[in-house]
Structure 1
Amino acid sequence: MREHVSGRVTVTPLEQPALAVHAASLERAVEELTLALDDQLGRAHPGRLFDLARHTPTTAAALAVPALRVHGEAEAAPADLSVHVVVGPAHRPYHEVRAPRLDVRLWLAGKDPAAQATPLLAAELVDRDEGAVLALRPDGPERFLDLELELTPLRLRDLRRSELDRDERAAPELVGPDEPDGGDASARAELDDDWDDDPRRRRARARPAARRPPATPTLDRLAVPWHQLAQAGGLEAAHHRDELVELVRARLAVAEPEPLVLVGPAGAGKTAILHELARRLAAAAPAAPPAPAASAAPSDPATALRPVLFLDGSRLIAGQGYFGDWQRQTLDALREARAVDAVLVLGHLGELLDAGKSAQSDDNLAQLLAPILASREVAIVGEATAEEWALAERRNQGFARAFAVVRVDEPDPTQTRRILGAVAAELAAREQVVVPPDVVDQVSALCARFLPYGALVGNTVTLLRRLVEAQVQLVRPALSRADVLARFASETGIPHRVLDDQQPLREEEVVAFLAARVTGQDEAVARVARVVSLLKANLTDRRRPVASLFFVGPTGVGKTELAKALAELLFGSRERMVRIDLGELAGPDALHRLLGDGVHPGQLTEPVRRQPFSVILLDEIEKAHPVVFDALLGVLGEGRLTDAAGRLADFRASVIVCTSNLGAEARAAGAGTGFGAPGGAARARHQAEHYRAEVQRFFRPELFNRLDDVVVFGSLGAAEVAAIVERELTKVTRRDGLRHHRLGLEVTPAARALLAERGLDPRYGARPLKRTLERLLVAPVAAWIADHPRGGASTLIADVDARGQGLVLRGEAGLDADAGPAVSAALARIEQVLGRAAAVRAEVRQWARSPAMRRLVAELALFDRSSRQPAFWHDRDLADSRARAAAAARELVAGFAALDAQAVTTEDLAYEAYYRRELAAADGLSAEIAQVDNSVVGLGERLFASLFPPRGAVSLTLHAARTGWNDLTTQAGVMREWAMRRGASVSWYEPIAVYDGPVNTPAKKARGKARPDAAADDGARAGARAAPSRPPDRWTWSKVSRPSNAPPDEPCLIMVVSGGQAMQLLAAEHGAHRVTRGGSTAVVRVRFRPEGLRPSTEAPAALDEEALTEVRRWWPDKGVCFDVRLRRNFPLGQGGGPDLAPMLGAYLRWRVLGDHDDGGRG
C-alpha cells in the first residue's frame, strides 16, 4: 500500500499487479480490491489458484539501496533509495526476496536475505535510466497488508471444453434479445460448444437472457460516482443556472451526444453546473438500494438512473506503470461507460494533453481519446478556462475540435447577488449559523476589490463557506463583519486597518511611517502616501494597477527602501515586494525570461500569480531591452499580462514601482549642484523638472502616459546625512555582542561627523555608509571586546583620534557605582526585565521550533505545494477541509512569529533603556513582557489542541468513595474554574439509581418505627440515607446546577465542558488523584473522554476502570501537590485544591516540548 502526497492511496496485489486500485482512502481501496479479486479469482482456472496467492508467511522490510546518482559529482557515492521488499521462505535453503516496484525477484540462501539483496538490487539499478530510477522514489509511506478472501473456486467439471486451456473464464456479458449483436465470436463459439450435447441446456441457452446491468469493474475502481453522491446529498446545488444546466442535459440526452466542454473563468460555476446535472438526473430516477458506481441501472430504460461519473486524467492512468497499461485501462473504462450509457466528466481537459507522458514517450490521453470523441459513442463533458482551452487548441487541434464549446460566462451583478443570497440561506439552514445580508455584501465587496483571479461569484462563495465552517468549529451562532475582516486579513496578508472602513488611517500616520524608514525625502514620501490614501478610500481604478509609480533620482537616496516600506505598510511585510532587476534583461532573451518559455515560469508573471497583493519593483528600468517596454504597456495600462503558457497574470491588486537613475549624471555635473550642495525651494523645483524631463525624453509617450506619477528623489543634505548616521548607529548599538557583554556604546559628535564624511559619496549616496561603519567602528569595537574581560566596563566611548583620520575607543565604568540606592534598584529592575525578556524570547522560539510546530509548518508547506495543482481542487470537500486546517495552522505560525517579533522588540527597548539609563521604562517593559508571556500560554494551548481532531465537547467522570465526596467536588471546582477562564461552559450530571421492582430498605433504629418497603416502580431515586437491600437494575444521569453537598446514590459526578480551544488539555487530569488529609487517604478517579455525555446505564463504579494510574498526590495540610508524571511539587490553591494553571502549563510543556520545566513560571 502506497500513500500519495495528495492523501490518496494505491493498493497493489503482489501476484496480480494489474489489479492495482487507486482510491481516496485505504478502506475504499480495500473494498474495491476485494471486489476485483473476488471476480478475478472466482473466474480463474482451478490450476492457477496456487500461483495467485502466497502460501508461506512473509515479512516486509525497507532496504536503503545506494542507487541515486549525485548530479554533477561523478566520483561521489550514490545516495540511498528506499526500496520496500517482501521476504519469505522458498524451497530450502532459499528465501525469496521480491521488490514489487522494481519488478525483481531474487532467491537467496543465507541467514539475512534482505542484507544480501541490497547489493544485488543496486547492481540491477545501475543500468537503468536515471529518470526511471528517480521515478522509483516513494512519494509517501509504503507498507504491506494481508488481505484474506473467502470464495468458491471453479470446479473442473463446470468448465466447458474450450475453457480447459484458458487461464480464466471470460467475464459474463449478457446481451438482451432486442439488441442486434448477440455477442462476439468467442461468445457465439461458447454457445456452439459441441461438448455439451444436452438438448435441455441448448434450449435454455436459446431462451432470451434476463437483462442485467453490465459489469463495470474498471469504472467501479476508478470513477467517482457523482449520481450516488447526488442521491446522498453530497453535491452542492447550482443556484439560478437553470438555463445552462438544461442546455447541457439536453445536448447529452441525444442518441449520439457531441462531447461538450464548459469554457469560462475559474469560479464561474462550471463544476457547479455539472454537479447540478448529476443532482437532476438522480432526482428523475426512482430510489434504489446502494450499488456499485456504474452498474446500478434499473431494468426499465425509461426510468433508469443514468450514471454520472467523474474520471479525470490522473484517475485514468492511476496504478498503471507498464507500457500499454494505462491505454488498456482507459479503453476498458470507455467501453464500460458506453455499456451503461454513463456521462463521463473528464475534469479539466487541459490536463489530458500531458497525462500519460513519460521520459520515453510523448503519448498522452488526448491522443488516445481523439478517435473515440469523434465517434460520439460515449457522453463526455469537461471544463476549461478560456486560457487553458486556447492552449489546448494550439497544442492538439484535432482533440479540441472534437468538443462543442458551451460558454459559461460570469453572472451579471444582479444574478450574482441572487446566487450569493441563495448560497447564504442554504449554508445558514444547514449549519445553523446566522449569515446576515450585510455580511454577504461585505464578503462580495472584499473579493471584488482584492481577489483578481477567478470569477467574483466563485471567490465569494468559497470564502463564505470557509467563514461559516469556521464559525461552526468555534461554536458561534452568527457570522459578523469582524469575523470576515479577521479571516480575510489572515488569508491575504493585507493589514486590518487597510480593509476596515471603520478604522481610520490618517495621512499623517502614513507619512510618519514611511519617513521613519526613508530619511531626507519628504516630497517623495508625501506623494507615495497619497497612494495609500487612494487604496484605503477605494478610489483606485479597478481596471489598472493600484498605482504605477516611477522613482527617479541619484543612487543611494532611498528609492528601493521606500518601495520596501510601502510593501510593509500596504501588505504587512517587506517581503511582499517582488524585485526584478531589469538590467539583467538587456539581451534578446529578455521577453522569454520575463514571461517564461512555456516550461519555465516567467520572472515577472509567476510571482504575481502566486501573490497578487504585492509591490512590484522594476529596478533600473532604463537598462531593459526594448521588447520589455512593449510588454509593460499591457501591465501599466490594463493590469494584465499573459505568459508563454497562456496563463493570465493580473496586476490590478499590485503596486508597480519603476526605479531609474536617468539624469543623475547630468545633474551631478551641473555647476552649483550635486551631493550636499546648498539650495532652497527653487533648486528642488528645478531638480524635479530636470528628472521628469529626462524620463519623458527617454521613454515613448505611450509608456510615459501610463505612469500615475513620477516621484523625484533629491540629493541628501547635511541634516539628512546626520539622521542616517544616527539611524545606523542605533542599529549597531542593538547588536547581540554588545548586549551579551552588557556594554553601552556612545559615539561623540566629532566621531559622528567623521562617519558621515567618510561614509557618504556624491556618486553613490548613502550606500557606502554601512561599509564605513563596519570598517571604522564595528571592527574596532569587536577587537576591543575580544581584548577586555567581561564586566570591566559598562560603556564604550568612540571618539576621533588625534590625527582626525579614524576612531579611538575607551571604556568607562559608568555611573552605576556612584548612583544612589533608588537608581541602583531601578537598574537592577531593568536587568531583571532584560533577563525575563531573554527567557521569554527563548521560550517563544522553543515553541516555534517544537516538533508539533514543525509538523504544522510541514503540513502548511505541503498544502501550499499541492493546492497549486489543479487536481487538488477536484475533490472539493477534501480540499476545503485541508484549506481550513491550513488556515488554522497559518494562524498559529503567524501568531508565534508575531510574538517572537514582539519579544525581540521588547528586549531591544529594554537594552536601550539600560544603556541610556531610562529608569522609568522598567514598569512598562515588565508589563509588555508579561503580555507576551500570557500570549505564549494561549498559543501553546491552541497548538496542543491542534494535535487532536476538533471536538464540540469533552467529559470528565469523577468517582470516589463516599468519604471522599468533598475532595471530589473540590477537584471538580478547580477544573471548572480553569475551563470557565478559557471561555468554556460547564454542565454537571449526577447518577440516579433506578429499580424496576420493589426494594427492601432496612429500618433505621434511630428513627424508631421501621419504614415499610418502598416501591420504585416508576424508577424514582432511592433514598440516600437507607441503603437498598440489592443493587439497582440500572442507572440514569440527571443534570444538576451544581454538585450536591451530600453524595448522591453513588459518589460520582460527570462534568461536560463545551466550547473553548483548550478542552483537550483536561486530558492531563485522567487518572487517580490520592488525597492525604489528617492521617486518612481518599482516592478520586478521573476519566477523560474526548466527547460529550454519552447515555449509559452502567454502574458509575464501572465507568472509572480506565482511570487506575496514579497521576497526582495531594497533601492539603502541607499545602503541596506532587505530580507523579512531572516529578514536581506544586503549591495548592486557596480552596485547598491544586491551581490548575501552572500544573497544566507544565503538563503542556512536557507533552509538546518534552520539558519537565515550566519556563520559569513555577
Structure 2
Amino acid sequence: MVIKEKFNTSSALIFNAVTMNRFIIFRKARLFKTIFFLLFVISLFYFLIIDDSFVGLIFLFFSFFLIFFQIEYFFNLKLKYPKIKDSENIAELFNFDVARSFSTDTCKFLYNLLDDSDFTFVFSRLGIDIKEVRTLLKTTKDNDDIWTLLLGSLKESKARGGVRIKKNDVLIFASENHFILKEVFKAYDVSSDDVRNVFSWIYNMRKKEENKKKFWKWENLIKKGSLAKDWASGYTIMLDKFSINWTDYFKRNGFPDIIGHKKQIEETERVLAKSNINNVLLVGDPGVGRVCIIRALAKKMFYGTSLANLNYKRVIELDIPFLIANVDNNEELENILDHIFREVVNSGNTVLFINDIHNFLLGESKPGKVDISGVLANYLPLASFPIIGITDYTGYRNINNNSSVGSFFEKIDVFELSPADTIIFLQRQSINMEFKYRKIISYQAIKEIVACSERYIPEEPFPKKALDLLDEAMMYISQTNEKTLLPEHIRKIVSRKMNIPIGVMDTQEKDILMNLESLIHKRLINQESAVKEISSALRRSRSDISSYDKPIGSFLFIGPTGVGKTETAKALAEVYFKNVRNMIRIDMSEFQTLGDIERLIGSSSREGILTSQVKQKPFSLVLLDELEKAHSDVLNVFLQILDEGSVTDGLGQKVDFKNCIIIATSNAGSNLILEKDNMSGESLKLELLNYFFKESIFKPEFINRFSSVILFEPLSKEHLLDIAQLILNRIKNNLEEKGIEFEITEELKKEIVNIGYNPVFGAREIKRVIQDKVENTLADGLISGTIKKGSTVKIVGSNFELVLTN
C-alpha cells in the first residue's frame, strides 16, 4: 500500500541516477564511447598501414573506450534500475524517465515529460501538435493535485502488469484526468485507449529495431544457417525448379509479424505433427489471412519454436500454374508431379503448400482444366508427406465430395481478424506505406479505416478491406499537399467510393434533412405519419444515433391502391437519395413460387435480382411492391435482412443492407379499409393486422421485423384536388421549357376529380383522366401547330376544350 505521508524523493534510489545524469561523464557516456572507439579504429588503421608510431594512441583510445563502455553499462544496468526497498514510497516506483521529469507542479511535470522523442511520435500519430501542448502546460497555472496524478499513474502501471511507473502510464492517466490534457485530448476525440494503443505501436517498433541490432541473439544467429541441417535432408531438384521456398525467402527478407489466428496456427501444427493423415485444408474467404498462417508456421519452424517433429522443416509452395505452363500434356504433368512428391517424401524436411488447391482437385477431367487428384491420392496417406492446401468454402465442398482425396484432409476454418487486431495489423503495415508514399499515417486515420470498412464494406473480410482502403487513401493523399493522413480523408474516400454520405454534413445536406417532410410533400399529398417516420429514420442514421446492425429503416405501407404508397418511396428517393434511379424496385408478384428464391438472391450459377442491385448501389431505397403476393418462403428471406441487415446470396457472399431503407407495400385488406372508413387510424390498422394473421397473409414474426407499419388511408376529394394540382404543375413546368404558358384553373381540377373520383383506385384514376383529357389535348395542339412558342393556353369545360388566351 502506498502512503501519501511516506512520499520521499530523497530516499528513493532512482533519484541517485537522476543526480548522476547531471554530470556530463554519465549523460554523454555513449557519445564518448563512440568517439573513442572511432579514434581507436582510425589509429589502428594508421598503425597497420602507414606509421607504427601510433601504437601508444591505440592503447590510449581503446582504454578510454573501455572506461566509457563500463560507465554506460554501470549507469544503464545498475543506477537506472535500482532495487525497490520501500514499496510504500511511491517515489521508489518511478522509472528513470519519470524521476528525471518529476515536479510537484503537475503542469511542469508533464511539460518535462513531453520533452521526449517517444511522445513526439505519439502526439504526431494522434494528430496533435506537441509544441502547442507544451506551450499550454508552460504558461498555465497549475491547479491539479500531484498525488492524484501519481496514484492514477501507479494504477495504470499495475493494470499492465508493471512494477514501476513509466512515462506512458502518466500520460495515459493524465489524458483523461489532468485539467489541461483532458481538454486537449477531448478536442481531438482521443481516448486513453487510443494513447495506450499508440504507445504499444511505438514500443513494438522499437523492440523490433533493437532485436535486429542484437546480432548475438539466437533468432539472428540462426539466419546464418548451418551445413548440418542442409546435409541431413535429401535433394529436391525437381521441386526446387517448380516451387517457391518460403523459408529461404523470409530468411533473406525477414519474417513478418503475424497478428491473430493463434488458434488456427496451433491447430495446423497439431495436424501436421500427427503420425497419420497429417494434411490440412485452410478454409476461408480470400483476404482473411489464410496465407499469414503459412508465414507464421514457416517462422516457427525456422526458429525451432514449433512442435518437435516440425522444427527446422522448410515450407515450400508448389507453383502448379507455372508447372502446367512448362509441360506439353497431362501425362508429362503427372510424371513430374509424381517425381516432385517422391522428393518431398525422401527429403524428410519439407512441408508442401498449394494455394487455391481446389482448382487442381476437380475429381474428373474437364477440357482446359487440370486434375491432380489421382497422383496426389497416392501420397496423402503418408506421414512423410505433410501438405497444406488453401481453399474457400465453395472449393472445400468440391474437395470434400472428391472421394479420392477428401477424406485425407483435416479442415481448419480461418475467420477474419477482429477490428482490434486489424488496427494492430495496419499499424505494422503503416511503416512500409509511409516509406512508399512519403506521408505520415495518423492513428485516428487507422481507426477510421477500420470503422468505415467494417460498416460500409461488409462484403469483404478483415484485414484485406482495411489494407486496401489504407493503400487507396495513401495514394489519394500522395497527390495532395497534405503531410498526414487524417480521418476526414478516409471519410471522403469512402463517401465517394460507396456513394454514401458520411462525415461532416454540409449546409445543403443539413437543410435537406431538417426539411425532409416539407420537401417530400412537394410531390406527395397527405400521409403525414409515413413521411414523418421515414424522415426521422434518416436523421437518426445520418447522425450516427441508430444501430448499425439493421437497415436505416424498414417500413410496411398498407392501404388501398392509389393512395401514395409507391409515390412516397419515389419522393424520398428523389429528395434524399438524389435520384429515382437510386430506388431498387422489386415487383414481389413475380416471386410466387419456392423456386423464385434463386431469382431473388441468386444461385451458384447466377446473381440474384435483389442482391446484385444492392451490391451495386449499397446506399439506396429498396421498394418491395405488392409484398403479399410473394411466396411465404420468399418472405422468410427478408426475416434475416430486416433483423440483421444482411443476407448471404447464392454465391455464398454476404450482401449488406445496412445502408438501405426498405419499404414494402401491400394492398391486402383494401376492401376491409373501404368498408370501415369511419374507424380511426390506429384501430383500423390493428383490425387490418389481425386480418393478415387470421388469413395467413403475413406472420406476426414477419410484421414485427419492420421498424414501423404505416396505414395509408383512402384519399378524400380534397386530397385528390391537391394531387391534380401536383400533376398539372409538372405539365405546366414542361410547357414552360418550350416557351408556352399553361393556366391551371379551379374549374379544370374539379372536373378532373369529378370524373376520376373512385375510392377503390384512389389517385390512379386521377392520373388516368389527366393523361386522357389534358395531356392528349395539349399534345394534339402542339402537333397541329395550334399551340406555338409564346402561347398562353388553358383547358375548359366538361369537354376539356383547348383555349388560347393570347
TM-score by length of 2: 0.60
**Distance (Å, rounded) in 2 between the aligned partners of 1:502 and 1:481:** 22
Question: Is the 1:390–1:646 Cα contact (8 Å) retained in structure 2?
Answer: no
- 1:512 to partner: Cα distance: 3.1
Q: 1:805 to 1:706 in 2, by over 3 A?
A: same
Give the one of 779, 784, 787 matched to 1:787.
784
Structure 1 residue 595 displacement after superposition? 4.6
Per the TM alignment, residue 563 of structure 1 is displaced from its structure 2 partner at its CA by 3.1
Contact 1:498 1:536 in 2 (8 A): no
Residue 720 of structure 2 contacts residue 753 of structure 2 at CA under 8 Å; is this kept in 1?
yes
Q: Go from structure 1 to structure 2 and tell me whether the alpha carbon gap of 1:725 and 1:369 turns closer, same or farther (over 3 Å shift).
A: farther
CA distance in 1, matches of 2:402, 2:726: 61
- Alignment counterpart, residue 472 of structure 1, candidates 478, 482, 500: 478
State the Cα distance separating 1:750 from its structure 2 match. 2.3
Work out which of the residue numbers 763, 774, 777 in structure 1 matches 2:774.
777
Q: Which amino acid aligns with 1:715?
A: P
Are residue 731 (structure 1) and residue 730 (structure 2) matched?
Answer: yes
Correspondence for 1:553 = 559
CA distance in 1, matches of 2:767, 2:247: 68
The answer as to 2:343 corresponding to 1:347 is no
1:217 and 1:742, CA in 2 relative to 1: closer, same or farther beyond 3 A?
A: farther
Evaluate the alpha carbon distance shift between residue 375 and residue 551 of structure 1 in structure 2; reply closer, same or farther with a 3 A threshold.
farther
- The answer for the alignment partner of 1:382 in structure 2 is 389
Indicate the residue corresponding to 2:501 in structure 1: 495
- In structure 1, runs of 5+ residues without a counterpart are 1-176, 181-210, 285-301, 674-678, 813-1162
Aligned partner (choices 437, 444, 447) of residue 438 of structure 1: 444
Q: Percent identity?
A: 22
Deviates most, 538-547 or 334-343: 334-343
CA–CA distance in structure 2, aligned partners of residues 733 and 357 of structure 1: 68
CA distance in 1, matches of 2:605, 2:451: 36
Is the Cα contact below 8 Å between 1:239 and 1:423 reproduced in 2?
no
Question: Cα gap change, 1:758/1:567 in structure 2, threshold over 3 Å: closer, same or farther?
Answer: same
Larger helix percent: 2
Cα distance in 2, alignment partners of residues 421 and 525 from structure 1: 45
Aligned to 1:798: 794
Q: 1:532 to 1:787 in 2, by over 3 A?
A: same
Q: Is the 8 A contact 1:495 1:572 kept in 2?
A: no
Report if aligned partners of 1:751, 1:807 keep a CA contact under 8 Å in 2: no
Aligned length: 569
Q: 1:369 to 1:718 in 2, by over 3 A?
A: farther
Secondary structure at the residue paired with 1:406?
A: strand
Match for 2:317 among 296, 304, 309? 309
Q: 1:464 to 1:751 in 2, by over 3 A?
A: same
Who is 2:702 aligned against?
703
Q: 2:534 pairs with 528, 532, 535, which one?
A: 528
1:413–1:731 distance in 2 versus 1, CA, 3 Å: same
Gaps of 5+ in 2: 1-229, 305-309
Change (3 A) 1:738 1:250: same
> Relative to structure 1, is the Cα distance of residues 460 and 781 closer, same or farther in structure 2, using a 3 angstrom cutoff?
same
| TM-score of the superposed pair, with normalisation by structure 1 | 0.43
Deviation at 1:524, TM superposition (A): 0.5
In structure 2, the partner of 1:581 is: 587
Equivalent residue for 2:743, pick from 743, 746, 769: 746
Aligned match of 2:74? none
Q: Secondary structure at the match of 1:715?
A: coil
**In 2, Cα distance between the equivalents of 1:570 and 1:334?**
62
Q: CA deviation at 1:463?
A: 1.5
- Look up the match of 1:214: 237
Q: Quote the Cα distance in structure 2 between the aligned partners of 1:303 and 1:362.
A: 36
Deviation at 1:467, TM superposition (A): 1.0
Matched with 1:373 is 380
Matches of 2:603 and 2:771, distance apart in 1: 43
Counterpart residue number, 1:273:
293
* Distance (Å, rounded) in 2 between the aligned partners of 1:608 and 1:235: 41
Task: Give the whole-Å Cα distance in 1 for the aligned partners of 2:764 and 2:717.
Answer: 16
Any idea what SS the aligned residue of 1:518 has?
coil
Match of 2:278 in 1: 258
SS where residue 237 of structure 2 aligns? coil
Q: C-alpha displacement at 1:489, in angstroms?
A: 0.6
Q: Is the 8 A contact 2:641 2:657 kept in 1?
A: yes
Change (3 A) 1:349 1:641: farther
Between the aligned partners of 2:580 and 2:335, the Cα distance in structure 1 is 53
Separation of aligned partners in 2, 1:253 and 1:526: 64
Aligned AA for 2:666? S
- Distance of 2:713 and 2:539 partners within structure 1: 24
Is this contact kept in 2: 1:776–1:806, CA < 8 A? yes
Question: Where does 1:847-866 land on structure 2 (aligned, <5 Å)?
Answer: none
Amino acid at match of 1:472: S
Q: 1:327 to 1:418 in 2, by over 3 A?
A: same
The 8 Å contact of residues 310 and 344 in structure 1, kept in 2 or not, is answered as yes
Return the alpha-carbon distance in structure 1 between the equivalents of residues 770 and 352 of structure 2: 70
Give, in angstroms, the shift of residue 610 of structure 1.
Answer: 5.4
**2:805 counterpart of 1:808:** no
Task: Write out aligned runs for 1:1110-1121 (5 A).
Answer: none
Separation of aligned partners in 1, 2:535 and 2:238: 69
Structure 1 residue 657 and structure 2 residue 663: aligned? yes
SS at match of 2:447: helix
Task: Flag the 1:390–1:261 CA change in 2: closer, same or farther, 3 A.
Answer: closer
| Pairwise CA distance, 1:488 | 0.5
- Return the offset for 1:535: 1.7
Q: Helix, strand or coil for the counterpart of 1:373?
A: coil
Provide the aligned C-alpha RMSD in A.
4.6
CA distance in 1, matches of 2:253, 2:571: 50
What residue is the counterpart of 1:1065 in the other structure? none
**Does 1 or 2 have the higher relative contact order (CA < 8 Å, sep 6+)?**
2
Match of 2:490 in 1: 484
Contact 2:271 2:279 in 1 (8 A): no
Q: Compared with structure 1, are the counterparts of its residues 630 and 355 closer, same or farther at alpha carbon in structure 2 (3 Å cutoff)?
A: same
Superimposed CA distance per residue, residues 934-961 of structure 1 (whole angstroms, 9 cap, x where no aligned partner): xxxxxxxxxxxxxxxxxxxxxxxxxxxx
Q: Does 1:668 align with 2:680?
A: no
Distance 1:556 1:320 in 2: 69
Kept in 2, the 8 Å contact 1:746–1:798? The answer is yes
Shift of the 179–212 alpha-carbon distance from structure 1 to 2, 3 Å rule, reads closer
Is the CA contact (8 Å cut-off) linking 2:303 and 2:312 kept in structure 1? no
Tell me, in whole angstroms, the C-alpha distance in 1 between the residues paired with 2:759 and 2:332.
71
CA-CA distance at 1:599 after TM superposition: 2.8
Return closer, same or farther for 1:421/1:217 CA change in 2, 3 Å cut-off.
Answer: closer
Shift of 1:660: 0.8
Q: How far apart, in 1, do the equivalents of 2:615 and 2:602 lie?
A: 13
1:79-127 deviation line (CA, Å, top 9, x unaligned): xxxxxxxxxxxxxxxxxxxxxxxxxxxxxxxxxxxxxxxxxxxxxxxxx
- 1:418 is matched by which residue type in structure 2? I
Q: In the aligned structure 2, how far is the partner of 1:487 from the partner of 1:328?
A: 52
Instruction: Report if aligned partners of 1:507, 1:533 keep a CA contact under 8 Å in 2.
Output: yes
Greater per-residue strand proportion: 1
- What do the CA deviations read for 1:195-225 (whole angstroms, capped 9, x no partner)? xxxxxxxxxxxxxxxx976246972xxx667
| Structure 1 segment 1066-1081 matched on structure 2, within 5 A | none
Decide whether aligned partners of structure 1 residues 641 and 554 sit closer, same or farther in structure 2, where only a CA change above 3 A counts. same
* Cα offsets for 1:173-192 (capped at 9, x unmatched): xxxx9999xxxxxxxxxxxx
Change (3 A) 1:588 1:388: closer
Offset from partner CA, 1:886-939 (integer Å, 9 cap, x none): xxxxxxxxxxxxxxxxxxxxxxxxxxxxxxxxxxxxxxxxxxxxxxxxxxxxxx
Distance 1:743 1:478 in 2: 57
Contact 2:355/2:389, CA 8 A, preserved across alignment: yes
1:767 is paired with a residue whose SS is: helix
Which residues in structure 2 correspond to 1:608-1007 (within 5 Å)? 608=614, 612-644=618-650, 646-670=652-676, 673=677, 683-697=680-694, 698-735=697-734, 739=737, 741-758=738-755, 761-788=758-785, 793-801=789-797, 804-810=798-804, 812=806
Whether 1:403 and 2:403 are equivalent positions in the alignment is no
